[in-house]
A and B are shown apart, each in its own frame.
Chain A
Amino acid sequence: GDSVTQKEGLVTLTEGLPVMLNCTYQTIYSNAFLFWYVHYLNESPRLLLKSSTDNKRTEHQGFHATLHKSSSSFHLQKSSAQLSDSALYYCALSHTGYQNFYFGKGTSLTVIP
């Protein structure tokens, strides 16, 4: 069945260093939709990025991700981490005809001074 893997559960980075959070997925469907959600403490989770187009870079709020169907990956990147990026990040998968989402286990990012 479909699944999403986020291999890092906890990531701690020093401010200013690049961010890369891994997301790989498995699906038998060619029309996959990939999402990154961010959950800041004391707020509601919200969409950060989404994509369904192979090899197209998607950007929002300094973060970017490129869906690579050949490697089933949708890694989240940012060139320079900020203290305010500390949050829980979820990668999620859906596909046409499916009313639900498959979520990864989440990566907790902590950025330190």
Chain B
Amino acid sequence: GGIITQTPKFLIGQEGQKLTLKCQQNFNHDTMYWYRQDSGKGLRLIYYSITENDLQKGDLSEGYDASREKKSSFSLTVTSAQKNEMAVFLCASSIRLGGHAETLYFGSGTRLTVL
């Protein structure tokens, strides 16, 4: 078994601030993802990475940067936090089998509040 660890669990920032969320996995999975979870909007992909140093933009990448310096870690930066922004950011990883992404394993999330 393995685990995905997201830090911090709660993040409170000020408007305009640059904020970084971190994610570590010990599954040895190839692909890692960052999703944003908003009520009624489902899980929306921000960035994903299929290997170390690879970055692929998702539908919601504007306003975010990502970094995959090691296979086991994937960080997300909110480049300029928006006032009244509240969301949960979920990190996930998956193994690649037969050319497609397999089951996603999720972290417990980082809840962001911007004052």
CA distance A106 to B4 in the complex (A): 22
Which B-chain residue is minimally distant from A6 (CB atoms)? B42
Between A and B, how many residue pairs show CB distances below 8 Å?
62
Is B90 an interface residue when CB atoms closer than 8 A count as contact?
Answer: yes
5 tightest CB-CB pairs across the interface, nearest first? A105-B42, A44-B106, A103-B43, A45-B106, A96-B100
CA distance A54 to B33 in the complex (A): 28
Contact residues of A: prevailing secondary structure: loop
Name the A residues within 8 Å of B33 (CB-CB). 100
Contact with B along A88-108 (1 / 0, CB 8 A): 001010111111110111100
How many residues from B make CB contacts under 8 Å with A?
27
Q: Tell me which of A6, A43, A90, A100 contacts B101 (CB under 8 A).
A: A100
How many residues from A make CB contacts under 8 Å with B?
25
Structural contact, A37 and B104, CB atoms closer than 8 A: yes
Structural contact, B90 and A45, CB atoms closer than 8 A: yes
Measured CB to CB, the closest approach of chain A to B109, in angstroms, equals 7
Name the A residues within 8 Å of B42 (CB-CB). 6, 90, 103-106
Is A9 an interface residue when CB atoms closer than 8 A count as contact?
Answer: yes
Q: Which of B43, B45, B98, B105 has the most CB of A within 10 A?
A: B43
